[in-house]
Amino acid sequence: MLGFTVPWRGGELGGSDPELEDKRWFAREEVADATRENSWSEPDGGGDSLLLPPRAAIARRLIEGWLSTLGG
């Protein structure tokens, strides 16, 4: 599996990939808070809270790498 990061230059999220049908923006603080929660379990915030993939998943590594570049 490969994972990539791409800088966002503005505008709406696009694309038609069915795996990306749920597209949302999260504040850096929300993502950082979610890394401290258990992966794939219901966080204290309820159903609308951000759930992250397990630490072994490439998606999680990309997220944590992004957070570390921002001093988090």
Total count of residues recorded for the chain: 72
% of the chain surpassing 70 pLDDT: 75
DSSP of the chain, one letter per residue? Answer: ---------SS------GGG-S-----HHHHHHHHTSPTTS--TT-TTS--PPPTTSHHHHHHHHHHHHTT-
More confidently predicted of 30 and 1: 30
- Report the predicted TM-score, pTM, of the whole model to 2 decimal places: 0.66
pLDDT at 40 over 60: no
Give CA separation, 40 vs 13, 16, 27, in Å: 24, 25, 19
pLDDT at 48 over 70: no
Q: What is the pLDDT of residue 58?
A: 92
Average pLDDT over residues 53-57: 88
15-29 pLDDT, tens digit per residue, is 677 776 777 788 899
